[in-house]
Structure 1
Amino acid sequence: MANTFKEASTEEINQIMQRSHAAFEIFQKKSIEEKSTFIDTIADEIEALGDELLQKASAETNLPIPRLTGERARTTSQLRMFAAMLREGSWVEANIDTANPERTPLPKPDLRKMLIPLGPVVVFGASNFPFAYSTAGGDTASALAASCSVVVKAHPAHAETSEMVYGAIKKAIAKCNMPDDVFQHVHGNSFESGKALVQADHTAAVGFTGSTAGGKALFDYSAQRKNPIPVFSEMGSINPVIFLPDTLQKNAADLATQYAGSITLGMGQFCTNPGLLLAVESPALHSFLDHLSSGIEAVQPAKMLHAGIHSAYEKKSHAALAQAGVKVVQQAATAAQDIEALPTVALVSGETFLANPLLHEEVFGPYSLMVSCKDEQELVTILKSVSGQLTVTVMGTADDLNSHTKLVDLLPSIAGRILFNGVPTGVEVCASMVHGGPYPATTDSRFTAVGINAVKRWVRPVCYQNWPDSLLPLALQNANPLNIWRLVDNEWKK
């Protein structure tokens, strides 16, 4: 579907960011209840769009209605999650160290610290999640919860869906008497528009979900500014899965069924798709591959999100399969047509994998590479050779874990989320989730893009020293009018 929306010029973007900054100065002073009600109302207005929104998104992305129904529910739920976080209030991390004028040799000052918003946040909508990582997705929800204004660049692959959600947010702005420009919406296909958004004087932070090339470009644009700003880009990940020998021996068929489903879920168009499978060479491994082949063969090819993603999948999968030593284990039996993806599993030796950096790159789609390692040491070497990941998974028994402690100890250095006996596809939206990881999974491994802690990307700490109580933010005043948990003289108190 063609994108017919006008591309914003650099001059228009600068004006948009100026208006965003003016709105931010008003919005951050709104009460907690006003802001949380506003975020709740956005969720209500999105739901009020009904089936028309789902149908539009399906037409633009080729995603089925049941998948989109679930994603819309996730989107509205995470909006309400952030509204609830605001009302509870402890997320500001209020710390108070009271004065001690009698201390010698120097008196101790009164010191109080909390998190404050950075300012206008630019969000780049993702192609593979038209709701949950786009216009009113997690980046927008967390930035609004942090009291930041937001400017979203719609993804051109689902621009009309983005416009509909934008309309819902504008209704919420009017209903809740928020500044008109607390949320703004722009279109653009060019690198120039992205660069202008990152480098506009009033942009304070950036959120992005997409390719490594795109995320790194935004990060580099920030570095070129007179005053560099935080850019949180969630980028490439091949999400290694390690199959240990005892579980392969005992559970080959079940594991293959589980992973055939995970590799091809949504035609592999998830940032947590298991793109790299690792195991030590054994008859059990080949039994697993036989079962996996049957599972992949039975999968019906389906249309990818848009022609650009399909073209990239074709190019990257063909390049990987053309490398010396790479063998196709199985492809789906039904031929792919139009922009359908052909699910594929390939096999390579550990030695060949280590010698060929191209095989370490993400192939975004229903593709996975099985690496057959000669022993555990080679498997560990391969894990150390892959770059930072969103996830790493271990499939094993208790005996497996006890006999592979060196490998298990390595896992936290590789990824932001470490799974045991599961599949990486599927990201729970909750306080404990980490959806981030060492570069290039993300540009800043200290943060998550999912869950309430995603708000911390858009804030910074400020310390107030010896300030009059009445002039302090409510979260730091002696009476604790917000009734939040605070660390007072190293003790948690309300």
Structure 2
Amino acid sequence: MSFEPHGRHLIAGEWVGSARRFSSAPAHGPAYEFSIGTPELVNRACEAAEDAFWSYGHASREDRATLLDAIADEIEARAEAITRIGTQETGLPEARLQGERARTVGQLRLFADHIRKGDYLDRRHDPALPERQPLPRPDLRLIQRPVGPVAVFGASNFPLAFSTAGGDTAAALAAGCPVVVKGHPAHPGTGEIIAEAIHAAIRSLQLPSGVFSLIQGDGRDIGTALVTNPLIRAVGFTGSLAGGRALFDLCAQRPEPIPFFGELGSINPGFVLPQALARRGQAIAKGWAASLILGAGQFCTNPGLMVLPEGELADAFAQAAAQALRDAPAQVMLSDGIARAYREGAGRVAGRAVPVLSRDSAGREALPNICRTTAAEFLRDPVLSDEVFGPLGLIVTAPDAGQMLALARALQGQLTATLHMEDEDLEPARPLLPVLERKAGRVLVNGFPTGVEVADAMVHGGPYPASTNFGATSVGTLSIRRFLRPVCYQNVPEALLPEDLREATSR
């Protein structure tokens, strides 16, 4: 299937242009012009979503599952065109785009299966006890219901899996919530072709056109209009700490505040315990190096921090990691702005820590860098704990287990935390695990966090600033709970109950 972007927004089933336009900035291939959204278009999309909610929010689980499967089919029908435009815009290799497309359609189908089973509804029934003394108990039934229209912001680093039809959109549609997507300006053509796939699926099933809209733009005013629109009931966001925090504050300041589920940043610390360092230090260093440069370090789970016992083995670890990266080729970053921010961040860290591997990046390409510091200095300088988006690694050495524990306790919230350990490291691991469990949404042993499995048990979230809601995940089937709320029905006649609740009662 051929594809050339037309540069319009999808608003309530219609492709609509606007007067102001911006140009894409692809890593290679042609640039295209795209319309810039307006607050008026945002309002039209939100009104259409609200209208659609009154039918889509009450559609059967099977109807919603069929839509998710149909979107997956439409995406696969455009596979080659998606890969072509995606690689041009982002500079990501074809294999990465193909794998990400498979993950995207896989999570759509996972949610279809999930809602067909119905377990996510958490249905509960306390039958009436009219004879109970001193007071009778009414009939009480509980079920999870969709919250209403959801705003989703496309992510820069995952043009498919965290963007137009990514995990947030899949979870919201599965829950019964219409979606308005703010496309990411780094890959607007990719967003457009995915929106075409969603639009085709909606039309084929004759669902309300307001179930999905896409608005493009390269300014903050569209995002502001979207999260402050009174018809939006929740927001899904993956992006920078500064941008996410600004939108989070807007959601909280609304006359009627709404939940903002933002994933904002993480340095994903790893702790190498003594026996693991002694037995496998070189192998861990090489594995860390490989994980550090995966995707040019542009993963939210990039392992940017490694904490080691100080000494000769730490020295050898640092040299092994540097050697593994010394000849690593430059990699194209997702945008000129991201590449510039990486250079600036690497420079800040190099000015505060000792460079172990220093390689100058230029233009839109990134080269890996490694720096080293002590636990005492890391604890003194908060800049060293800031995320640098890209292939930058920081090694921190600690004189003893107590200092390593103090460093763990001082960390901000993280998406992941890792222990590298042997069986003989159980004693130093015991006090660390409760701390890491409190700091991160996912705790790993003897692995690297890049690569997030889309599964029932996955948690991709964590305490602030990793995310704005530590009780939620943006990956896995549990993420549907972000867009649901419990409703209790007291003494409601069965004929008036939602169909899913009647089913549960009749069993």
Query: Does the alignment reach a TM-score above 0.5?
Result: yes
Partner residue in 2 for 1:391: 416
Residue 407 of structure 1: CA displacement? 1.7
Is residue 10 of structure 1 aligned with residue 39 of structure 2?
yes
Residue 480 of structure 1: CA displacement? 4.5
Q: Which of 267, 286, 300 is 1:238 aligned to? A: 267
- Residue type of the alignment partner of 2:381: N
- Residue type of the alignment partner of 2:141: R
Residue 337 of structure 1: CA displacement? 4.1
Kept in 2, the 8 Å contact 1:96–1:476? The answer is no
- Residue type of the alignment partner of 1:97: D
Q: Which of 336, 340, 343 is 2:368 aligned to? A: 343
Residue 169 of structure 1: CA displacement? 0.6
Q: How many Å separate the matches in 2 of 1:192 and 1:174?
A: 30
Q: How many Å separate the matches in 1 of 2:459 and 2:356?
A: 33
Partner residue in 1 for 2:246: 217
Moved over 3 A (4+): 478-481
Q: Which of 284, 300, 303 is 2:329 aligned to? A: 300
Q: How many Å separate the matches in 2 of 1:412 and 1:240?
A: 12
The range that moved more, 217-226 or 396-405, is 396-405
- How many residues matched? 478
Residue 479 of structure 1: CA displacement? 6.1
Q: How many Å separate the matches in 1 of 2:315 and 2:100?
A: 37
Kept in 2, the 8 Å contact 1:155–1:187? The answer is yes
Partner residue in 2 for 1:315: 344
Residues 184 and 249 of structure 1: is their aligned pair in 2 closer, same or farther, counting only changes over 3 Å?
Answer: same
Q: How many Å separate the matches in 2 of 1:200 and 1:421?
A: 45
Q: How many Å separate the matches in 1 of 2:195 and 2:492?
A: 41
Q: How many Å separate the matches in 1 of 2:387 and 2:268?
A: 9
Q: How many Å separate the matches in 2 of 1:109 and 1:118?
A: 26
Is residue 287 of structure 1 aligned with residue 312 of structure 2?
no
Is residue 431 of structure 1 aligned with residue 460 of structure 2?
no
Partner residue in 1 for 2:12: none
Residues 403 and 315 of structure 1: is their aligned pair in 2 closer, same or farther, counting only changes over 3 Å?
Answer: closer
Residue 206 of structure 1: CA displacement? 0.3
Kept in 2, the 8 Å contact 1:101–1:108? The answer is yes
Listed as ranges, the matches of 1:56-455 within 5 Å are 56-323=85-352, 326-331=353-358, 336-455=361-480
Partner residue in 2 for 1:471: 496
Residue 50 of structure 1: CA displacement? 2.3
Q: How many Å separate the matches in 1 of 2:362 and 2:438?
A: 41
- Residue type of the alignment partner of 2:198: I
- Residue type of the alignment partner of 2:104: T
Task: Output one character per residue of 1:363-387: Cα deviation in whole Å (capped at 9) or x when no partner.
Answer: 0000011011121111111111111
- Residue type of the alignment partner of 1:173: I
Residue 304 of structure 1: CA displacement? 0.5
Partner residue in 1 for 2:17: none
Q: How many Å separate the matches in 2 of 1:164 and 1:93?
A: 36
Q: How many Å separate the matches in 1 of 2:188 and 2:429?
A: 48
The range that moved more, 408-417 or 392-401, is 408-417
- Residue type of the alignment partner of 2:147: L
Paired residue secondary structure (1:448): coil
Kept in 2, the 8 Å contact 1:14–1:201? The answer is no
Paired residue secondary structure (2:33): coil
What runs of 5+ residues in structure 2 fail to find an aligned partner? 1-23, 26-31
Paired residue secondary structure (1:404): helix
Residue 4 of structure 1: CA displacement? 2.2
Q: How many Å separate the matches in 1 of 2:56 and 2:458?
A: 28
Task: Output one character per residue of 1:198-227: Cα deviation in whole Å (capped at 9) or x when no partner.
Answer: 001101110000111111111101112100
Residue 136 of structure 1: CA displacement? 0.3
Q: How many Å separate the matches in 2 of 1:163 and 1:99?
A: 52
Kept in 1, the 8 Å contact 2:330–2:365? The answer is yes
The range that moved more, 400-409 or 382-391, is 400-409
- Residue type of the alignment partner of 2:70: T
Paired residue secondary structure (1:91): helix
Kept in 1, the 8 Å contact 2:293–2:368? The answer is yes
Residue 409 of structure 1: CA displacement? 2.6
Q: How many Å separate the matches in 2 of 1:480 and 1:102?
A: 21
Task: Output one character per residue of 1:284-319: Cα deviation in whole Å (capped at 9) or x when no partner.
Answer: 111111211111113111111110110110111111
Identity of aligned residues (%): 45
Could you tell me the TM-score, scaled by structure 2's length? 0.92
Kept in 1, the 8 Å contact 2:265–2:300? The answer is yes
The range that moved more, 163-172 or 298-307, is 298-307
Partner residue in 2 for 1:52: 81
Residue 11 of structure 1: CA displacement? 2.0
Paired residue secondary structure (1:249): helix
- Residue type of the alignment partner of 1:431: D
Residue 158 of structure 1: CA displacement? 0.2
Q: How many Å separate the matches in 1 of 2:425 and 2:45?
A: 56
Partner residue in 1 for 2:481: 456
Residue 256 of structure 1: CA displacement? 1.4
Partner residue in 2 for 1:488: none
User: Cα RMSD (Å) of the superposition?
Assistant: 1.2
Q: How many Å separate the matches in 2 of 1:257 and 1:320?
A: 22
Partner residue in 1 for 2:72: 43
Task: Output one character per residue of 1:76-114: Cα deviation in whole Å (capped at 9) or x when no partner.
Answer: 000000111111111111010001111100001110011
Residue 338 of structure 1: CA displacement? 2.7
Task: Output one character per residue of 1:223-275: Cα deviation in whole Å (capped at 9) or x when no partner.
Answer: 12100001000011000000011111111121111111001101100000001
Task: Output one character per residue of 1:162-211: Cα deviation in whole Å (capped at 9) or x when no partner.
Answer: 00000011100111111011000001211211110000110111000011
Could you tell me the TM-score, scaled by structure 1's length? 0.95
Residues 251 and 170 of structure 1: is their aligned pair in 2 closer, same or farther, counting only changes over 3 Å?
Answer: same
Kept in 1, the 8 Å contact 2:401–2:428? The answer is no
Is residue 30 of structure 1 aligned with residue 45 of structure 2?
no
Q: How many Å separate the matches in 1 of 2:497 and 2:58?
A: 13
Q: How many Å separate the matches in 2 of 1:461 and 1:340?
A: 48
